Amino acid sequence: MQSHRIQKVLVANRGEIALRIIRTCEEMGIRTVAVYSEADRTALHVRRASEAYEIGPPAPLESYLAMDKIIQVAKAAKCDAVHPGYGFLSESPDFARRVEKSGLLFIGPTARSIRALGDKLRARDIVSRAGVPVVPGSTEPIRDLSHARQIAAEFGYPVLLKAVGGGGGRGMRIVKEEKELGQALREATAETRSAFGDPRVYIEKYLRHPRHIEVQILGDSYDNVIHLGERECSIQRRFQKMIEESPSTFIDDVLRAEIGSAAVRAAKASRYRSAGTVEFLVDEDKKYYFLEVNTRIQVEHPVTEMRTGLDIVEEQLRIASGESIRWKQEEISPRGHSIECRIYAEDADEGFLPSVGKIAYLRPAQGNGIRIDSALEMGTEITSYYDALISKVVSWGIDRAQAISRMDRALREYLIAGIKTTIPFCLYVINHKAFRNGEYDTGFVQEFSKRNHQTTAADDGRLIAAISGVLVAGEAKEAPILTGGSQIKDGWSGWKTKRIEQEYH
């Protein structure tokens, strides 16, 4: 493959990740082209790109998922490459193929590896042939209920029904006993069909209290693969990550090295190119099992950047332009500790229900060891068209204690008014004893949300909006009244109220 200096990149995404990609391009002297929907006319990524083109109505199918329009813009604007970010078209082998067929570089793996690894059954087959342990489960899609019964009995309940083409935590059903299997299979199949256009589901043994530990990898076009260390992502809700950290407190250096080399083997077996993530579950006995490969930049990649000093988007761009990886494995030496809190526009009090509205007031966190990736500004409209992830707060510290204190300080400093966000929830988690002791697993959020179910929360959103109304307009239209928080000591609603009191009283 010949080296080709990339001069202009189309960013086929929106929000914080579009902005994050634009920033690196700018640092590398690469021009950028944004595409956007009608809903994003005034968005920051649109204004920060060198050029921007409106491509359609807000619905993703007509804009951010409209392959033809995006490729057309890339060609017309004389781009030489397309970066898909995460979500949207990032894991579409068709898109990758069409981009490359149009004579553009796709900043990611080959269409072939995206297709192979996007199919969870094929991915499990590829990596297990490379000697990597996979979560016990079926090797083919479920044909019907009796087939499901037979497989489930073989692995033993509880089992997990999973979408072969799944992602984003969708299409999964836990089945505790045989009598639940029929309904769960119907539901999983229906959800899988509507979410991914592919009704195939398969069965995995449902591991109890596992930890989600993943490895960031980089591969180039010459079959070189290195890894950049692990991230622990066990703080999840609905099988989706909320807080990630590196290093994991759960594994020692021996297991760390083993999982790292298993990830490299998995990547080599699929001739992986670009940045990617090999996900594992680690059980209570510290046995590790391959889960899946995400063939794209990951939401939580900044955690790895903070520890290694590398810019993963820059590496993606260099690899796509035909360079080989610049480092040997032994030159990668992650340092200190890093944590990421995902800030979603959601109401944690209402089962993480999406919250929409205008950002009435915004005060970002700053200071030593803090990085915020977000595309928010005052006045930004949060709609229900797109993913609810609006911002990521990332901390770095020389050790875990410092990374936590900095995160704690930053989350208190960060004010977003006008919508509900998961800031109070993240504050609750990082101050929880189980998190502080590093003793948590993928069930953490569910377990603690259950306990807090009956709390009567102070209305954080309206409250901050009222306060910000005072701050912004400079007059007290409505006095910021503090209502009582939770009666439950370890409830996060109580936490929230305390936080606001500290801030304003």
Asked whether position 133 contacts ligand ADP by CB under 6 A, the answer is: no
User: Burial letters for 474-488: b for 16+ Cβ neighbours within 10 Å, e otherwise?
Assistant: eeeeeebeeeebbee
Q: Contact at 8 Å (CB) between 310 and 228?
A: yes
Nearer to ligand ADP, 450 or 505 (CB): 450
Nearer to ligand ADP, 235 or 464 (CB): 235
The residue among 437, 416, 427 whose CA lies nearest residue 485 is 427
CB of 242: closest distance to ligand ADP in angstroms?
Answer: 9
Rounded to the nearest 10 degrees, the angle between the axes of helix 400-413 and helix 423-430 is 150
Contacts of 123 (CB under 8 A, 6+ apart): 116, 117, 270, 290, 292, 293
The residue among 188, 157, 152 whose CA lies nearest residue 170 is 188
CB of 26: closest distance to ligand ADP in angstroms?
Answer: 23
What is the torsional sign of CA 353, 354, 359, 363? positive
Catalytic residue among 296, 342, 406, 499: 296
CB of 143: closest distance to ligand ADP in angstroms?
Answer: 20
Among 31, 241, 273, 318, contact with ligand ADP (rule: CB under 6 A): 241
Nearer to ligand ADP, 201 or 299 (CB): 299
CB of 91: closest distance to ligand ADP in angstroms?
Answer: 6
Q: Contact at 8 Å (CB) between 395 and 406?
A: yes
- 474 Rama class: left (phi>0) / alpha (psi -120 to 50) / beta: left
Nearer to ligand ADP, 141 or 167 (CB): 167
Whether residue 296 lies in the annotated active site: yes
Asked whether position 206 contacts ligand ADP by CB under 6 A, the answer is: yes
CB of 501: closest distance to ligand ADP in angstroms?
Answer: 33
Q: Contact at 8 Å (CB) between 105 and 6?
A: yes
Among 33, 89, 117, 135, contact with ligand ADP (rule: CB under 6 A): 135
Q: Contact at 8 Å (CB) between 420 and 355?
A: yes
CB of 215: closest distance to ligand ADP in angstroms?
Answer: 12
Nearer to ligand ADP, 115 or 212 (CB): 212
Q: What residues numbered 414-443 form the site for ligand ADP, per CB under 6 A?
A: 442
Q: Contact at 8 Å (CB) between 231 and 246?
A: yes
Q: In what helix (H) or strand (E) does residue 492 lie, and over which residues does it extend?
A: helix 492-504
The β-bridge relationship of strands 159-163 and 173-175 is antiparallel
The β-bridge relationship of strands 8-11 and 81-83 is parallel
Asked whether position 385 contacts ligand ADP by CB under 6 A, the answer is: no
Select the span of 235-243, 257-265, 358-366, 430-438 touching ligand ADP (CB under 6 A).
Answer: 235-243
The residue among 388, 386, 302, 300 whose CA lies nearest residue 344 is 388
Among 166, 219, 247, 418, contact with ligand ADP (rule: CB under 6 A): 166
Q: In what helix (H) or strand (E) does residue 292 lie, and over which residues does it extend?
A: strand 288-294
Nearer to ligand ADP, 21 or 466 (CB): 21
CA-based max dimension of the chain? 68
Nearer to ligand ADP, 277 or 497 (CB): 277
Contacts of 228 (CB under 8 A, 6+ apart): 215, 216, 217, 218, 304, 308, 310, 312, 332, 334
Q: Which residue is nearest to ligand ADP (CB)?
A: 167
Asked whether position 160 contacts ligand ADP by CB under 6 A, the answer is: yes
Select the span of 167-175, 363-371, 390-398, 493-501 touching ligand ADP (CB under 6 A).
Answer: 167-175
Among 204, 245, 349, 373, contact with ligand ADP (rule: CB under 6 A): 204
The β-bridge relationship of strands 51-56 and 31-37 is parallel
CB of 316: closest distance to ligand ADP in angstroms?
Answer: 14
CB of 217: closest distance to ligand ADP in angstroms?
Answer: 14
The residue among 87, 111, 107 whose CA lies nearest residue 98 is 111
Tokens in use for 467? 């306060």
If DSSP codes are grouped into helix, strand and coil, which group holds residue 390? strand
Nearer to ligand ADP, 80 or 244 (CB): 244
Nearer to ligand ADP, 210 or 418 (CB): 210
Could you give the string, one character per residue 77-96, with x where binding to ligand ADP holds by CB under 6 A and - elsewhere?
Answer: ---------xx---------
Tell me the number of residues near ligand ADP by CB under 6 A. 29
Could you give the string, one character per residue 276-315, with x where binding to ligand ADP holds by CB under 6 A and - elsewhere?
Answer: ---x-x---------xx-x---xxx---------------
Asked whether position 322 contacts ligand ADP by CB under 6 A, the answer is: no
Write out the catalytic residue numbers. 296
Q: Where does this chain bind ligand ADP (CB under 6 A)?
A: 86-87, 135, 160, 166-169, 204-207, 210, 212, 236, 239-241, 279, 281, 291-292, 294, 298-300, 387, 389, 442
